[in-house]
Structure 1
Amino acid sequence: MPTTPAPFLHWNVETHASLIRRNCSAVMETAHHFGAPMTARGNGGLILVTSGAAWAGGATLSVYGATKAFDLLLAESLWAEWHEAGVHVLGLVLGRTDTPSLRRTLKGKDGASLGELADPNDVAEAALEHLAHGPVWIYGSADPTGASPLGMLSRRDAVLLRSRSWSAKSS
């Protein structure tokens, strides 16, 4: 499993496929498994955790960003299908959150501070508090139900910006 952002060809195809199985296939299968009884009974809730990496492609984030875009669009689509049936679906878009995965990703960066990270407990509480406000909640955003923070940029400029920001974080 990739543990650090890296160029696409750095990881072999099976490593990428494993990430797709974890971040897309498993999420879709779980949504299908739990969605059927929730829609049948007319209530329930589902939170799909995605990432700011879903907003635009970027160097060293190709497959990860693509899987998170999948999760975001799946959450939006399921919300559209299920909200009138009484099932809440929320695509929770995270920024930098203090998780073991992020710590592994940033480990060994010359002892530099990890910077400000969201507390996972705060994130979970906010997600549950806003579950009924789907389809998307952008944790920590001034406009948490709004558009992509990159929405005013052309797709090309968004990709360039995303690539520069991750290159700076990984150096």
Structure 2
Amino acid sequence: MDKDLGTHLELVHRNCTAVLEAAYRFGAPMVARGRGGMVLVTSGAAWAGGATLATYGASKAFDLVLAEGLWAEWRGQGVDVLGLVLGRTDTPSHRRMRAADGESYGGDLADPYDVAEEALAHLADGPTWIHGSPNPTGGSPFGVLSRRDAVLAMSRGAATSREENGTGR
């Protein structure tokens, strides 16, 4: 783990505790009135662990499973829940991360407005929507790979990205 424990705990709070609290506080009134919708944003990093992605991927896996579980609980009560799985998206957080790693902003990044429009258009298509996927309601992009092979593939992807951008970390 390349960061101090406090940084990892802040990430878990932001990506897990705060998301759970928001779902609880906003979801309960929606269920009570019998209508509403909620999008929980997760990441492709949720599909498998990977080198340098341990805490982030675990926190996003929490969000994915939370969204799927809430979808199952609330769908018969008039509340739509969508776990929105993002790939590389041009967000302020992504820009900060890339700048900290010495990377440029170029590349194929999804436009956040397009992502939001797509999510809202497919809110009722839960539990999961994979933005940019040819099969957005499908399963893991790792398909039939074993969990071990998926983790190794995710780790290779993280290492390749660091090498291509000259960060070497």
Same fold (TM over 0.5): yes
Tell me, yes or no, if structure 1 residue 132 matches structure 2 residue 120. Answer: no
Number of aligned residue pairs: give it: 161
Structure 1 match to 2:149: 157
Structure 2 match to 1:123: 115
Within 5 A, what are the aligned runs for 1:78-157? 78-107=70-99, 108-109=102-103, 111=104, 114-157=106-149
Shift of 1:75: 0.1
Q: Is the 8 A contact 1:79 1:88 kept in 2?
A: yes
Of 61, 64, 69, 2:61 maps to 69
The CA distance in 2 between the partners of 1:56 and 1:75, in whole Å, is 17
Structure 2 match to 1:32: 24
User: Aligned-residue CA RMSD in angstroms?
Assistant: 1.0
Shift of 1:114: 2.6
Structure 1 match to 2:49: 57
SS of 1:143's partner is coil
SS of 1:45's partner is strand
* Comparing 12-21 and 27-36, the one that deviates more: 12-21
Q: TM-score, normalised by structure 2?
A: 0.93
Contiguous gaps of at least 5 residues in structure 2? 164-169
Amino acid at match of 1:84: G
Identity of matched residues, %: 65
The CA distance in 1 between the partners of 2:7 and 2:98, in whole Å, is 19
Amino acid at match of 1:39: V
Detail structure 1 runs of 4+ shifted over 6 Å in the superposition: none
Shift of 1:86: 0.4
The CA distance in 2 between the partners of 1:124 and 1:139, in whole Å, is 10
Shift of 1:82: 0.1
Amino acid at match of 1:101: S
Q: Is the 8 A contact 1:97 1:119 kept in 2?
A: yes
The CA distance in 2 between the partners of 1:151 and 1:17, in whole Å, is 31
The CA distance in 1 between the partners of 2:82 and 2:162, in whole Å, is 30
